[in-house]
Amino acid sequence: MFGRREFLAGAAAFGVAQKASAGVLSGGAADRAVDAFLKTQPFQGVVLIGKAGKPIYSRTVGFADIEAKTPTTLDTPYVIASISKWLTSTAVLKLVEVGKLDLDAPISTYLPDYRADTGGKVKLRHLLTNVSGIPNGFSTWTKANPDPDLFKKRFTTAEAVKLWCSGDLAFEPGTRFDYALTNWVIVTAILEAVTGKPYAHAMAQLVITPLGLTRTTPVDPPNLAVSYRTLEPLVRQANDRFPFFAASGGYASTAGDLLKAAHAIFDSPFLPPARKKALLTVGWPDQDYALGGRVNAMFADGLPRVFAWETGQAAGYRSVLGHRFDDQTTVVLLNNTGLTQRAMDEFAYALFAVV
């Protein structure tokens, strides 16, 4: 049967959705939407709206560093958290295209030292859709072994997989959704195994450099916006992480780079049609979750439209990358003040004129 997930993937990947009669907000209408949001939410960050990869509206609000009174600019980098999963999934699909990976191969194909029982059941696609059943051993381990200096220590990706990503399955693969970073540490190990390169180098070769994402990095760049837990009182929030967490949520980027990436990945031939369809096919409908991100149907201009909806939340950082396929419009929101993700999503909906 041809269901909702196939419709979303087909409409997104092949542009079959009806063209819009109106579109994303810009100019004075966008200003009014931003002003309305600022009356109720302590947003500080960047609003960027684009069409076909070109900016049509931008606005910066507040400070990247409140204590230092450093203003937010369009070039300010922010931690984009789980939007990193979307970039990682794109890299995986580039390797699928050249025959180095297979989404439906068991993970033991690429990690022969992984435990055989689980490794023979869990497929790469399960990891990218967060339905593997492999539990989050890192959370369990750190609760049992509290260590304030943990992030000062060094672990290889292989050590991380053995320590924290090899527990007994919590459920049969493909039967439940569990947004666990464990999935993505194993994806990191697979990328390193098949490319023979550290994850960051492989990502640079496959995605970051070809797309010209010069401000996108898995390490904290200079002038990174400071993360705040609260504004009253003003409390900073650390965002410690290991290199092997980058695939799950470790990248920092700018609004301009994310706009460029959205247009290249969603609208251009960077991914061939079959791989783009795979990226955008919803594998867990209750979450609208595809590979490394979400694909939603929402009403705009009186009709259902298909959107890619990438979000990120880490420490005080909040981000949204929304992309509407039929008219190639994009909204990027980057914030460093710990808003709720629901508030950020509703802000983006307003800018897309979603009802």
For 80-125, what is each residue's pLDDT tens digit?
Answer: 999 999 999 999 999 999 999 999 999 999 999 999 999 999 999 9
Q: Domain map of the chain by residue range?
A: 4-352
Q: Which whole number is the average pLDDT over 180-206?
A: 98
- Token couple for 200: 């960051």
Q: What percent of the chain stands above pLDDT 90?
A: 88
Give the model's pLDDT for residue 1: 33
* Count of residues making up the chain: 355
> Which CATH fold topology does 4-352 show?
Beta-lactamase (3.40.710)
Q: Given pLDDT bands bounded at 50, 70 and 90, which one contains residue 142?
A: confident
Alpha carbons within 13 A on the beta-carbon side of 243: 14
- Which residue's entry shows tokens 């049509």? 56
Q: What is the pLDDT of residues 297-327, one digit of tens each?
A: 999 988 999 999 999 999 999 999 999 999 9
Q: Which whole number is the average pLDDT over 119-137?
A: 97
Q: Which whole number is the average pLDDT over 187-194?
A: 98
Mean pLDDT, the chain, integer: 94
Q: Given pLDDT bands bounded at 50, 70 and 90, which one contains residue 2?
A: very low
Give the model's pLDDT for residue 148: 87
pLDDT for residue 173 is more than 50: yes
d(CA 338, CA 260): 25
N-terminal to C-terminal alpha carbon distance within the chain: 29
Nearest to 6 by CA among 338, 305, 283, 299: 283
pLDDT for residue 60 is more than 50: yes
Give the largest Cα separation in the chain, rounded.
59
Q: What percent of the chain stands above pLDDT 70?
A: 94
Give the model's pLDDT for residue 20: 53
Give the model's pLDDT for residue 207: 98
Query: What pTM did the predictor assign?
Result: 0.94
For the chain, the three-class secondary structure string (H helix, E strand, C coil) is: CCCHHHHHHHHHHHCCCCCCCCCCCCHHHHHHHHHHHHCCCCCCEEEEEEECCEEEEEEEECEEECCCCEECCCCCCEECCCHHHHHHHHHHHHHHHCCCCCCCCEHHHCCCCCCHHHHCCCEHHHHHCCCCCCCCHHHHHHHHCCCCCHHHCCCCHHHHHHHHCCCCCCCCCCCCCCCCHHHHHHHHHHHHHHHCCCHHHHHHHHHHCCCCCCCCECCCCCCCCCCEEECCCCEECCCCCCHHHHHHHCCEECHHHHHHHHHHHHHCCCCCHHHHHHHHCCCEHHHCECCCCEEEEEEECCEEEEEEEEEEEECCEEEEEEEECCCCEEEEEEECCCCCHHHHHHHHHHHHCCC
Task: List, in order, residues 6 or more apart from 298 with CB less than 8 Å away.
Answer: 304, 305, 307, 349, 352, 354
Q: Which whole number is the average pLDDT over 169-194?
A: 97
Give the model's pLDDT for residue 328: 97
Give the model's pLDDT for residue 145: 81
d(CA 43, CA 338): 9
